[in-house]
Amino acid sequence: MLSDDEIRRYLRDLEADNVERTVSLADKDKFGQAICAFGNDLPNRGETGVLFVGVRDNGDCANLEIDERLIQTLAGSRSDGSITPFPVMHVARRVIDGCAMAAVEVEPSDNPPLKYQGRVCIRIGPRRGYATAEEERRLTEKRRWGNLPFDQQPVAGTSIRDLDLLRFREEYLPSAIPADVLEENGRDIEDQLRALRFMAPDGRLTAAGLLVCGKDSRGWLPGTYVQFVRYPGDHIGDVVADHKEIGGPLAEQLRRLDDIVSANIDVRSDLSGTVQRDRPSYPIIALQELLRNAVIHRTYEGTAAPVRVTWFDDRVEITSPGGPYGSVTIATFGQEGVTDYRNPTLTEAAKAMGFIQRFGSGIPRARRALGLNGNPPLEFRVEPSHVNVTVRAAP
């Protein structure tokens, strides 16, 4: 975090290209684009970028009210899904020479290019806009590959031959990149894969590339499937009512899970009133959110264990390999607003393809849906090696 003297220096330097000033509280696009550009640090200065809210372009104070709500809105832009991957930033209310302002400090990313709403934002001198193909390539080459999460690490022995290029071009690219950017896209396929973190500089595929568009992800990462078992009654017995193994690329896996959940939910009719009321044993949105969380946020490193879904007559149990990650602890797991991402590229891909509405919203949405349907509260068992959630049927 910058000192007051350092903030004052940034504030007064009207020629600096790593400073943005605004008096608007409504222009979220300007906020997002500035944060994205500072994180990308195309000139490679290695210096913090600062967005000032409540300051005019000439450095004068705008005398705006800088309240907690504004600070929370600015801080929320880190993890609301508009900027990917997540920037390293700090937001605080500062008072400099009697002027109250919000200062958003953004560190250069180890994992560029950052994108705002699917576009790579940059700033060099007076120029602010979107990166060209050559500038995007330069940003990709700046990545510090050894520091990246597992899903962005290359998988030994893989190459572009292990990728389903038709799926990548026809399904993933149109969902991840705005149509006008694709239309003028001069990048070759390998540059596209590197920019989206699906390929390393040496041509090997990353774990995320295999998981999203691989021909045989399970052949390289053995645990990349979901095991579904349904038992009659309320305990594990010798008789199995249904058993499936759901694998394949991420989108295919999640769609098949949606179909299985829908087929196994019981709908009960209440005929006691004048109007028939139907209530499912589980709201489908709750199980969708919990299963997507289990697949996307599990650990894929050092384990061959699948996500396990065990369905009984009175409950559903979902077990995901890997315990809490990053800023999430056993004590804070499931608390609204406490989020971190073990697989940021996989999370970004799931959001681009429409499986996630907003980062960090899955468990809260599941809880709300269960409450409205009359189901008991979720029950979490969080261990260092796995997370188990029990969803009980509506009475």
pLDDT digits (tens, 9 = 90+) for 118-176: 899 998 776 678 998 888 888 988 887 767 899 999 999 999 999 999 999 999 999 99
Determine the topology of domain 226-392 in CATH.
Heat Shock Protein 90 (3.30.565)
Class of domain 4-121: alpha beta
pLDDT tens-digit series, residues 174-208: 999 888 887 776 778 999 999 899 999 899 999 99
pLDDT tens-digit series, residues 3-32: 999 999 999 988 888 999 998 777 788 889
Segments of the chain assigned to CATH 3.30.950.30: 4-121
In SS3 terms, the chain reads as CCCHHHHHHHHHCCCCCCEEEECCCCCHHHHHHHHHHHHHCCCCCCCCEEEEECECCCCCECCCCCCHHHHHHHHHCCCCCCEECCCCEEEEEEEECCEEEEEEEECCCCCCCCEECCECEEEECCEEEECCHHHHHHHHHCCCHHHCCHHHCECCCCCHHHECHHHHHHHHHHHHCCHHHHHCCCCCHHHHHHHCCCECCCCCEEHHHHHHHECCHHHHCCCCCEEEEECCCCCCCCCCCEEEEECCCHHHHHHHHHHHHHHHCCEEEECCCCCCEEEECCCHHHHHHHHHHHHHCCCCCCCCCCEEEEECCCEEEEEEECCCCCCCCCCCCCCCCCCCCCCHHHHHHHHHCCCCCCCCCHHHHHHHHHHHHCCCCCEEEECCCEEEEEEECCC
Segments of the chain assigned to CATH 3.30.565.60: 226-392
